[in-house]
Amino acid sequence: MPQLLTKTTRTMYQTAQLLEKLHNDTEIFLQQSIQWQLLPTTVLMAKPGPERWSMAQCLQHLNFYGDYYLPAMERAMREAQGKGSRPTPVFHPGWLGAWFTNLMLPQADGSLKSKMQSPKNAVPSAQPDALATLAAFIEQQERMLQLLDLARTVNLNAIRVPISLSRWIRLKLGDTFLFYLAHHARHIRQAEKALAAVLPIAARPVASAKTG
């Protein structure tokens, strides 16, 4: 599990270190999802229980957020760049941003504290196209790496990004990155659990192919 993404009460980050950690976390998500390409679609689409999401559903849920946040963050950074935004050595999370991030993060022991209700427009479809969903997820992580590179040239404190639920609530760019990746960590953990639950039943050939 990415190291940064456990509960925190930090009031400041060294910007360069923060971006490096976020980059490493995204790199881990990417390496995992590249491995998932070798799973049969039946495994990606298998639900571990009637009320639980399949791996593909978890990823589609994250893709909905990526579809909104990646362009929104890029737009905000490009605009700020045009206005001469410069990086600062230190990032201070805002109180609301920190609250959102902590809400998403797993506990130190890895468990998820609160069962959360996903907003209606972020609830995945019953049977997402597993291949297309995984491909889009991977593409989003690659784009995230490029956004984190771009972020090194701008001010994470001053740039604000409207949240997906309301354009009236705007988080600092640094908080948006932290919240976004905490949300990813949450549902990637869920996807891993779904995989662990369905793999022994649904995919004997994969298990043997992996060791062979």
List residues near another protein by CB under 8 A: 23, 27, 30, 34-35, 37-38, 40-41, 131-132, 135, 138-139, 142, 145-146, 205, 209
Strand partners, 160: 172
CB of 160 to another protein, least distance (A): 26
Are residues 68 and 76 in contact, defined by beta-carbon separation less than 8 angstroms? Answer: no
CB of 138 to another protein, least distance (A): 5
**Which helix (H) or strand (E) element contains residue 180?**
helix 173-202
CB of 164 to another protein, least distance (A): 25
Calculate ∠ Cα 121-63-172, nearest 5°.
85
Q: What is the largest CA-CA distance in the chain?
A: 56
Dihedral of CA 142/6/95/115: which sign?
positive
Q: Which is nearer to another protein, 79 or 142 (CB)?
A: 142
Name the one residue in this structure whose structure tokens are 């909104």: 68
Q: How many CB atoms lie within 10 A of CB 195?
A: 21
Q: Which is nearer to another protein, 90 or 131 (CB)?
A: 131
Q: How far apart are CA 8 and CA 101, in angstroms?
A: 9
CB of 64 to another protein, least distance (A): 20
CB of 112 to another protein, least distance (A): 28
Name the one residue in this structure whose structure tokens are 């959102």: 100
Q: Which is nearer to another protein, 96 or 135 (CB)?
A: 135
Q: Which is nearer to another protein, 72 or 136 (CB)?
A: 136
Q: Which is nearer to another protein, 27 or 192 (CB)?
A: 27
